[in-house]
A and B are shown apart, each in its own frame.
Chain A
Amino acid sequence: MVRFARAYVQLPTGVVGALILVGVAALALSAPLFIHPSDLSVSKASGPLLHPPLDGYPLGTDQPGRSVLDLVIWGARPSLTIGLIATALTVLVGSSIGLMAGHYEGFVSRSLMHVTDWFIALPSLPLAICLAAVLGQGAVSITIAIAITSWTGTARLVRAQALAVEARPFIERAKALGASDRQIMLRHVLPNVAPLILVSSTLTIASAILSATTLTFLGLGDPTDVSWGTMLNQAFGQGAVTGGAWWYLLPPGLAILVVVLGFTMVGRAVEQILNPKMENRR
């Protein structure tokens, strides 16, 4: 762990990525301290309507007169939450299916991989739209939709690595020890595939945040929520593009870019440290 931290600090991309994420997380967590719910209410907004940046509103205002800066900061909360929860689900489902497919031979492994292939073949965006339509609008259905469409990558990755680990003699030793299937999977295979899962999950968070934004932009989120996706959706719906209201469109877009960049940088840095094949390239 100490060795990992020491190697990580030496990677500039990793440090910058981590700083970005820490900054964003701090802003998102402390947002309720300086943004009052009434600042975000459409009916109680007090600013000028759809106005470029001015005193007191450094990023201008939106159609109902809310501060775009407040909206962007507040919007980090649902975006990060959905991204993290969807990734947690993805990792949980993907790793367990991958581990089982790698451990059990024959029928179980084959059927699990067939199910995975089937999910890969499904086009993810239409599936997510259908799911959100069936489950109803809102953050919960978006989270589930993202998890369902993205666990397949993790499952395949984990299975491939688990197969390699399963073939190693210490697994045979564990069997001779009288260890059960569950113990072998959790105590011997999982610790060996964990670095891979860590890398893949940091990259999954980035894509989950993008997907969450996409789905809310398409109008599948809760319209009363303030998130980067809904902001873009409303800006688009209220003619910000044709009206040249750059201050309304640009901040949420850049915020998404920065957060996704942060996670990608961290993910790449972790990968560089944990992947022995990439070690020489540093």
Chain B
Amino acid sequence: MTEPAPHPDAPLLEVEDLSVTYRAGDREVHAVRGVSFSLEPGEMLGLAGESGSGKTTVALSLLRLLSKNARVAGEVRFRGEDLLTADWRRMRAVRWAEASVVFQGAMSALNPVRSIGEQIREAILLHESVGEEAARRRTAELLDSVGVPASRAGNYPHELSGGQRQRVMIAMALACRPQLIIADEPTTALDVIVQAQILRLLADLVRDHDISLVMISHDLAVLGETCERLAVMYAGRMVESGPARQLIQDPRHPYTNALSSAFPVLGDPASRMAPAGLPGDPPDLSTLRPGCSFAPRCPQVMEACTEREVALWPAGDERLSACLRVLPDYPDQHQEQHLAARVGARSGS
């Protein structure tokens, strides 16, 4: 096997101008358009967006797990190696041994007729030349490290609780000591308590083993808890990225704003009463219109929004936003509103 030597200071993962188009009959759906990001070793990146924004498609395209009707363009460089052009043998070796996935819905991502121990062992035996006994021992260690008693290795998925199943998925993702874990909505369908436990577990494990993490969720708060950096996607495009705290507290794109206010702030009754959510639906991705895709639903839409092409513009330290308002040519209504809201809150209390 010819494994290219990784550059010591290069990012672990570099995605450049990634586009994915699904063919459905004679229609083409542009699920992902020109997404770029990079990930340093040990970094945790959160990918946010509503259903259909293309976040799962981005995640799956990293390991070329998309269905056959998907056309992928752009570049995905993992340790300097372009994965989109790598041959299948190499791809199979990269999968799981170097980059693994925590899937959404652990119940359905586990084979119902095989014990969980068997399924974790499968990953180890596929990629490492170790004996059955060594794999068994490692499985026990893995289960132990995610807080599932090792004695449950012989259990079948339906005999575990939802949280335990997700823990098993995490153990499985760690099985081959990967450098990158892609977690696709790892806590959806879990209650808040278990959700917090799983998130903490995942973050701790990733930090302890110095693994990079791409976490996908529709819930900005969930991502903000775990990840240092966030990227927000809308209609297949990245609309904003930046450090997690700043991005949540001071969004520079109206969509991020809408997304973060869609979740009530705990302990703040005012936020529960405040009108939240967005009118309208996400655009049909089979027809591309010029300008900003968010314009039809944007509360701060201007005339220029439907005319001028948007791109990710710098919007402060390490921050990018695809909103015309961050450009000096346009009035930044959002900033003013934000200030006004703060002043209002202060005078109200």
Tell me the A residues contacting B by CB distance below 8 Å: 105-106, 168-170, 172-180, 183, 187-188, 191-192
Q: Are B122 and A169 in contact (CB under 8 A)?
A: no
Q: Give Cα distance in the complex from A180 to B94, angstroms.
A: 13
Chain B: minimal CB distance from A114 (Å):
20
Known: A170-B111, A187-B122, A191-B113. A177 touches B103 (CB 8 A): no
Which B112-133 residues sit within 8 Å CB-CB of chain A? Answer: 112-114, 122-123, 126-127
Main secondary structure of the interface of A (DSSP, over half): helix
- The one of A170, A187, A191 that contacts B108, using a Cβ cutoff of 8 Å: A170
- Selected from B91, B95, B113, the residue in CB contact (under 8 A) with A177 is B95
With A178-B93, A180-B92 in contact, is A173–B126 under 8 Å at CB? no
Task: List the 3 closest A-B pairs by CB distance, nearest first.
Answer: A178-B95, A169-B108, A178-B92
- Residue of B92, B93, B95, B109 contacting most chain A CB atoms (<10 Å): B109
Nearest CB of A to B61, in Å? 12
Q: Please report the C-alpha to C-alpha distance between residue A176 and residue B94 in the assembled complex, in whole angstroms.
A: 9
Check A191–B111 contact: CB distance below 8 A.
yes
Contacts A169-B103, A187-B122 hold; do A176 and B63 have CB atoms under 8 A apart? yes
Residues of B within 8 A of A168 (CB): 108
Interface size on B, residues (CB 8 A): 25
Q: In the docked arrangement, what's the CA distance between A201 and B101, Å?
A: 38
Residues of chain B within 8 A of A170, CB atoms compared = 108-112
Instruction: Enumerate chain B residues within 8 angstroms of A106, measured Cβ to Cβ.
Output: 68
For A189, the closest partner residue in chain B by CB is B111
Interface string of B27-68 (1 = CB under 8 A from A): 000000000000000000000000000000000000101001
Interface contact B68-A105, CB-CB below 8 Å: yes
Residue interface bits B60-93, CB-to-A below 8 A is 1, else 0: 0001010010000000000000000000000111
Give A57 to B63 CA distance when docked, in angstroms: 75
How far is A183 from B111 in the complex, measured between Cα atoms in Å?
A: 13
22 A-B contact pairs sorted by A residue (CB < 8 Å) = A169-B109, A170-B108, A170-B110, A170-B111, A172-B103, A173-B109, A173-B110, A176-B63, A176-B65, A176-B101, A177-B95, A177-B96, A177-B126, A178-B91, A178-B93, A179-B92, A183-B126, A187-B114, A187-B122, A191-B111, A192-B111, A192-B113
Given contacts A168-B108, A176-B95, A179-B122, 6 further A-B contacts (CB under 8 A): A169-B105, A176-B100, A178-B91, A178-B95, A179-B92, A187-B122
Q: Are A192 and B65 in contact (CB under 8 A)?
A: no
* Chain B nearest CB, measured from A3 CB (Å): 12
Interface centre among A168, A169, A179 (most CB of B within 10 A): A169
Q: Does B97 contact A (CB under 8 A)?
A: yes
State the CA gap A168–B113 with chains docked (Å).
Answer: 13
Q: How far is the CB of A110 from chain B (nearest CB, A)?
A: 14
Residues of B within 8 A of A178 (CB): 91-97, 126-127
Structural contact, A179 and B126, CB atoms closer than 8 A: yes
Q: How far is the CB of A197 from chain B (nearest CB, A)?
A: 13
Smallest CB–CB gap between A1 and chain B, Å?
Answer: 12
A residues less than 8 Å from B97 (CB atoms): 178
B residues less than 8 Å from A183 (CB atoms) = 126
Closest to B69 in A: A105
B175: nearest residue on chain A (CB-CB)? Answer: A177
Closest chain-A Cβ to B114's Cβ sits at a distance in Å of 6
CA distance A187 to B113 in the complex (A): 10
Q: How far is the CB of B67 from chain A (nearest CB, A)?
A: 9
Q: Is the CB of A192 within 8 A of B103?
A: no
Q: Are B96 and A188 in contact (CB under 8 A)?
A: no
Q: How far is the CA of A91 from the CA of B210 in the complex (A)?
A: 49
Query: What are the residues of chain B within 8 A of A169 when measuring CB–CB?
Result: 103, 105, 108-109
Report yes or no: B65 in contact with A175, Cβ–Cβ below 8 A.
yes
Chain B residue nearest to A172 in the complex (CB): B65
Chain B CB within 10 Å, residue with most, of A168, A173, A183, A191? A173
* Shortest distance between the CB of A79 and any CB in chain B (Å): 34
A169 to B65, CA, bound (A): 12
Q: How far is the CA of A207 from the CA of B110 in the complex (A)?
A: 37
Q: Return the chain A residue nearest B63 by Cβ.
A: A176
Closest to B97 in A: A178
Residues of B within 8 Å of A172, CB to CB, are 65, 103, 109
B114 CB contacts on chain A under 8 angstroms:
187-188, 191
Residues in A whose Cβ lies below 8 Å from that of B127: 178
Chain A residues, CB < 8 A from B123: 177
Whether A173 contacts B113 by the Cβ 8 Å rule is no
CA–CA, A172 to B123, complex, Å?
13
A173 to B126, CA, bound (A): 13
**Complex-state Cα separation, A178 to B112, whole angstroms:** 19
- Chain A residue numbers with a CB within 8 Å of B93 are 178
Residues of A within 8 A of B95 (CB): 175-178
CB distance from B3 to the nearest CB of A (A): 15
Quick check: A173 and B92 within 8 Å, CB to CB? Answer: no
Shortest beta-carbon distance from B115 to chain A in Å: 11
Q: Taking CB as reference atom, which chain A residue is nearest B95?
A: A178
Q: How far is the CA of A191 from the CA of B97 in the complex (A)?
A: 25
